[in-house]
Amino acid sequence: IHMGVDLEKKSFQLEKFAYNKADFPIPDEAGYQPREQRIIEGLPLGEALETNLNVDEVHRWLSQYEDRLIVSTDPGDFVCNYIYCYSMNKFQSHQKARNTNHGYYSLFFHVPPFSEIPEDEQLKATALLIEAIFKHLSL
């Protein structure tokens, strides 16, 4: 589970997709600012990679956060998408190498700033997310 703060959102977001496109609007902490570049060589620029977790099902299990939790298809165009795309590609590569459809999963969970949802509530939501994923994978 990767996590990032989205300063513009007021809710939690389960990210369904990442995109093979690095186009940072500003440099990251190390000064890296790719523009219109592939994250994964060998995949088309902009190709969508979908998590192998059923985020819609996980979302249903977190129904107590229904008004503050959405399934998103836009992880943004900064470090969050970059990490998520790289992670999903890496895990999918491991699955193909081992000829299996299970065992490796990746999810990006965007959280709002603490001014929108306090830290203690975010910690509780994160723990419940982990529990929901465990339930999903145990089926």
Q: The pTM is what?
A: 0.89
Which two structure tokens, joined as six digits, stand for 37? 């570049």
| 25, two tokens | 């609007």
CA 93 from chain centre, in angstroms, equals: 18
Report the run of H or E that residue 86 belongs to, with start and end: helix 79-97
* pLDDT mean over 84-91: 92
Closest CA to 21 of 43, 39, 4: 39
CB environment 110-123: b (16+ within 10 A), e (fewer) = bbbeeebbeeeebe
Is the pLDDT at 7 greater than 90, yes or no?
yes
Angle, vertex CA 59, rays to CA 53 and CA 63, nearest 5: 155
Could you please report the per-residue DSSP string of 93-121? HHHHHTT-SSS----EEEE--TTTS-HHH
Q: Which domains does the chain have, with CATH numbers?
A: 2-138 (3.40.630.20)
pLDDT tens figures, 24-54: 999 999 999 999 999 999 999 999 999 989 9
Instruction: Report residue 8's pLDDT band, with 50, 70 and 90 as the boundaries.
Output: very high
pLDDT digits (tens, 9 = 90+) for 48-79: 999 989 999 999 989 888 789 999 999 999 99
Pairing mode, strands 12-15 and 108-111:
antiparallel
Which secondary structure element, helix H or strand E, spans residue 120, and what is its range? helix 119-138
pLDDT of residue 115: 97
